[in-house]
Structures are given as structure tokens and as C-alpha cells.
Amino acid sequence: MNFKKKRSSPFDRTDYYKASKNNFEFTVHDNDKIFIVAFHKKKDIRFNSLWEKLTFNSLEDAFKFCEDFDYTKHSCLGKDV
């Protein structure tokens, strides 16, 4: 996966990273806590790592989680879960 660094605005000091894999789009937020938001591009499946109180110590850990993500093993929302 190739995560691209983004910023909401030129004045925003918070970065986030985006990538896609297996029709899921992942956003890794690097705020006070590093967490992940994912959604399926074609089905109604959504995931937020904070729902499971899951945060990451490093961006590398978060990127690895996205690489290995299996929505059936996590608390996801949506009609296609």
C-alpha cells in the first residue's frame, strides 16, 4: 500500500494519510492519537479503530494494521457487515 500524506488546509498542523486496498479506503489520522478510519468503496462497511479503543504507537504500526485488515475480525458498521 502506498500511503499519501495529506493536510486538511495549509494552516492545519495535523496530517493524515490515505491509501486503498481491496476496495477499502483507509485514512490514518496522526493527531494526539494515531487511529484509523476505513470504509468499503462499493459496500456499506465502515470501521473506526477508536470504536475498539484501538490506537497505535507509530504510523508504521497503523500502516501494517491497514495492510492486514480483515473487516470480519473487527467491529464494523453498515448493512453489508
User: Between residues 8 and 24, which one has the greater pLDDT?
Assistant: 24
pLDDT attached to residue 13: 75
Q: What is the pLDDT of residues 15-74, one digit of tens each?
A: 899 999 999 999 999 888 999 999 999 999 999 999 999 999 999 999 999 999 999 999
Closest CA to 59 of 31, 22, 23: 31
Q: What is the dihedral of CA 77, 23, 35, 1, to 10 degrees?
A: 160
* 2 torsion bin: left (phi>0), alpha (psi -120 to 50), beta (else): beta
Round to whole Å and give the CA distance between 51 and 42: 22
